[in-house]
Structure 1
Amino acid sequence: MAKDKIVLAYSGGLDTSIILKWLKETYDAEIIAFTADIGQKEELDGLEEKALKTGASKVYIDDLRDEFAKDFIFPMFQAATMYEGQYLLGTSIARPLIAKRMVEIARAEGAKYIAHGATGKGNDQVRFELGVAALAPEIEVIAPWRSEQFRSDFPGRAEMIAFAEKHGIPVTASAAKPYSTDRNLLHISFESGMLEDPWFDPSAEENEEMYVLSVSPERAPDQAEYVELTFEQGNCVAINGEAMSPLQVMEKLNELGGKHGIGRVDMVENRFVGMKSRGVYETPGGTILFTAHRKMESLTMDREVMHLRDSLISKYSELVYNGFWFAPERLALQALVTESQKNVSGVVRLKLYKGNVIGAGVKSPVSLYNPDIATMEADPSQAYDQGDATGFIRLNALRLKVSAGVNQSK
């Protein structure tokens, strides 16, 4: 009889390298390794050979960078999404795309199972499995980290590193660098190891070698650099006048942001599964794009539309963070967001300097800012009569006066 097939989300890192071999031995199954190229760059070198050597019968390495930028990063940034005021959701937004492609491969290969290397304590297990549930409810998911047998075999990373060394599986993790990383076009994350101590200072000079995408602000150039971003309907379409695809925009902004020490975040966040966790992130290009987009909106977006959209930022962020990208409520919110962006077009000028993204001008052919109305000088348009403010204030003060009168009578 033919063996069952399992499609494994394979990064080539410590966890998935061990899991690939463990799945093959435990399930006596054919393992199809899948790696999404979403901007890991040199991390993909030698990955196919490594997966085959570790026991995979087939390897997919699919370039999804264009789709990632166009259909996932850009729509999310239109929503001004930021989780808990700091995190630009670099890992979170990649998971639904990976799940989508895994489902496509599983159906093409006739695989009954999908497997991932997310731990039972993290968010990624939820993101992968909710994505699969929304797209292919008939496919079963194997989560080794939630298996009692797997946890018994590998109670910690030290045992996994030892297993890899014993079986000749090359991994980047070591006793000296036990933290884990996850890189894509939007960011790179660092967690575990010494970072589990929230008092540990990753920004200290002696820890600079940990960072990948950016220099520290202290090492950034002493000369500021100006950059202009052109937007059409909420999406950046050109940098310094040069038309670019979403992928090219992200690559260029990552280069600029990394050069100037922009986009480093160190935070303790609230995971969906209930615990707090400490993560360190580099999001150089995303930080520039987020700032530029908000500045473009400030000039072109109707006040009430902006405030309505902003009231939904927390909800939208939670949906992405918690794995509900394909859920009907996220799709409904996206429709509102897309409508809100119709006039978010123009040019934003920014100054990049030692970790800072500083506004340096904004213009638009559909600007809602009218200097004749806003001026502190005489209003040549006579569109605003300052005397009208008296009645406006009196009506808004009415309920406050009534409430004050009641309180005083007590």
Structure 2
Amino acid sequence: MNQPQTYDAIILGGGAAGLMCAAVAGQRGARVLLVDHAPEVGRKILISGGGRCNFTNVGAAAERYLSANPHFAKSALGRYRPADFIELVDRYGIGWHEKTLGQLFCDGSARQIVAMLLEECAAGGVSYALGQAVEAVAHADGRFRVDVGGRAFAAPALVLATGGPSIPKLGATDFAYGVARQFGLKIVQPRPALVPLTLPGEEALFRELSGVAADVVARAGGAAFREAALFTHRGLSGPAILQISSYWQPGEAIAVDFLPDAAPGWLLAAKRERPRAALRSALAEMLPQRLADVLAERLGIGELHGAKDAALQAAERRLGDWAFRPNGTEGFAKAEVTVGGIATDGLSQRTMEAKRVPGLYCIGEAVDVTGWLGGYNFQWAWASGFAAGEAIAERLAE
């Protein structure tokens, strides 16, 4: 193989974090090569938010991220905030709007975000090696060597930005973990996150509600989220369930409050006011009819006047704390992100650089930092990419 072509930094992964890192380092004087096995960059960006890219969340803060070290993300998130990315979006004249819970989306297409990032990379003179897989990564004499498609490249800085294994149909793999292990970094066991949950056979009655949604509070692992839950032919989905899936552990139950706005004692009050009403009718005033029917059937209560007060109180408690015991998730194929990844205890929280391998940086979803649903993971990508890009340029200037 020919003598390696040299750069100041080689970035593996052309997603959100890799593009941000490349742009920042390039614009600060580093000669950057961005490598991706896909023929085009930003594929996950393009499908996000229904094609409109939920590019950040105004509420992004470290406590809304999962990590073995809950403090790790504070530094990067504090130095590159949602307002900083919004300023970049505004500079390019990209229209955006805020949906619920601080989620920001493009008015037009997610392609605008990818085009913006490519313009930023162009301003930094970033080079590309796309559409071919990495064949080997090595490190010697202070330089990293990367073999791609029969060509060799070398640089004193290498950035792992290839993400986690979620959404493999877009080409996602666990490549970053293998390279990290090669250099002695530990991996926190990865698992699917922001993913639908599956229900066992005995919950078939609920699976028959496929397509029915309701506003609920879902709880698991000490966390609680109020958003919509959606019944599917395999189990449970919808924003509330996707959120809680990141906290759920196999074998555990999740609790669902089907009536978060109901006043205490509402069922006894309904019995006094309309004793001839059926429970299913009372529930249908607050829930979709099909769901009301199934819940009433499970509770075994017909007309309210025929039920004892104690039974109605028990039914009310259960409706506010209904236990489901999922038998799994729909896996990485349907997971939006990955919980776990490259352990943060081996990384600098300021620069994203490996503590024991100078010049090796890990950013984005490849790292054990996972945000809530709604733009948080993109904000981590921008923030961690910015931190590493700055650090690479600072190192170069020394």
The answer to whether the superposition gives a TM-score over 0.5 is: no
More relative contact order, 1 or 2 (CA 8 Å, 6+ apart): 2
TM-score of Structure 1 vs Structure 2, range by shorter chain: under 0.3
Report the structure, 1 or 2, having the larger helix content: 1
TM-score (norm 2): 0.26
